[in-house]
Amino acid sequence: MCGRYYVDSDTADEIEKIIRRVDGKIKAGTDQAMWARDIHPTEAAPILAASNQKLCCCWQRWGFPKQQEGADFRGQRKQVIFNARSESALEKRTFRESVRHRRIIIPAAGFYEWNRHREKSTFYRKLQPVLFLAGFYDIYQGEERFVILTTEANESVKPVHDRMPLILEEDEMMPWIFDDEKTEAFLSKKPHLLERKTEFEQMSLF
């Protein structure tokens, strides 16, 4: 499960570098004033997608609507689908065509998970400013909206939660977005191990 993640100015810098390496130029969409914040379901966030056979950074809203959204965050979250299981996404009518033809990357500095005691952990990659979360989008009433794919938790996340985002490596970004024939293989990949930090301290007894 991934219900909240964060981006920062380093994420924006790294995305600009990646797109320049791929296409030699950057398209509009990486305004750093809009970065450096936590991202919640129903909010707009930066994503990487295909545009005229090139990679571009743009903004989409997180979550496919289930019905009319409520006014508060808790209500909104219940009214959107913000994650999809990678193991079954191609079998679901809601997701199938988007996974096949509208794949994206969601850049993140890290993401959060909570254990059964509601203790919060932050997951990130050491010495790597960006995690590349696999996702896809669809269009609802003229608005592009995305979902993050999740997979079975690896050894670094499993002590906290049994699910985690499907994370790609930088050299997998372009094949994920542009190569339809590799989609199923990516959906079954196991993400690399992550670093973890918590907002509580473990106390020792003397």
CATH number for the domain that contains residue 108:
3.90.1680.10
What is the total residue count of the chain?
206
Predicted confidence (pLDDT) at residue 198 exceeds the cutoff of 80: yes
For residue 36, give the DSSP letter: S
Please indicate, yes or no, if residue 122 is contained in any of the structural domains.
yes
pLDDT computed for residue 70 by the predictor: 46
Please indicate, yes or no, if residue 180 is contained in any of the structural domains.
yes
Predicted confidence (pLDDT) at residue 200 exceeds the cutoff of 80: no
> Is 0.95 surpassed by the pTM of this model?
no
130-171 pLDDT, tens digit per residue, is: 999 999 999 999 999 999 999 999 999 999 999 999 999 999
With a pLDDT cut of 90, the percent of the chain lying above it is: 66
| Mean pLDDT score of the chain | 87
Best CA proximity match to 134, nearest among 123, 150, 110: 150
Please indicate, yes or no, if residue 204 is contained in any of the structural domains.
no
Please indicate, yes or no, if residue 171 is contained in any of the structural domains.
yes
Say if residues 163 and 1 touch (Cβ distance below 8 Å).
yes
With a pLDDT cut of 70, the percent of the chain lying above it is: 84
Please indicate, yes or no, if residue 144 is contained in any of the structural domains.
yes
Best CA proximity match to 39, nearest among 14, 73, 79: 73
40-64 pLDDT, tens digit per residue, is: 999 999 999 998 888 889 999 999 9
Rounded mean pLDDT of 187-205? 77
79-109 pLDDT, tens digit per residue, is: 899 999 999 999 999 999 999 999 999 999 9
pLDDT computed for residue 23 by the predictor: 62
Q: Name the residue with higher pLDDT: 117 or 201.
A: 117
- The total number of structural domains in the chain stands at 1
**Structural domain containing residue 188:** 5-198
Predicted confidence (pLDDT) at residue 30 exceeds the cutoff of 70: no
- Report how far residue 112's alpha carbon sits from residue 3's, in angstroms, rounded to the nearest whole number: 8
Alpha-carbon distance values, 31 to 15, 21, 22, 56, 98 (Å): 11, 19, 19, 13, 27
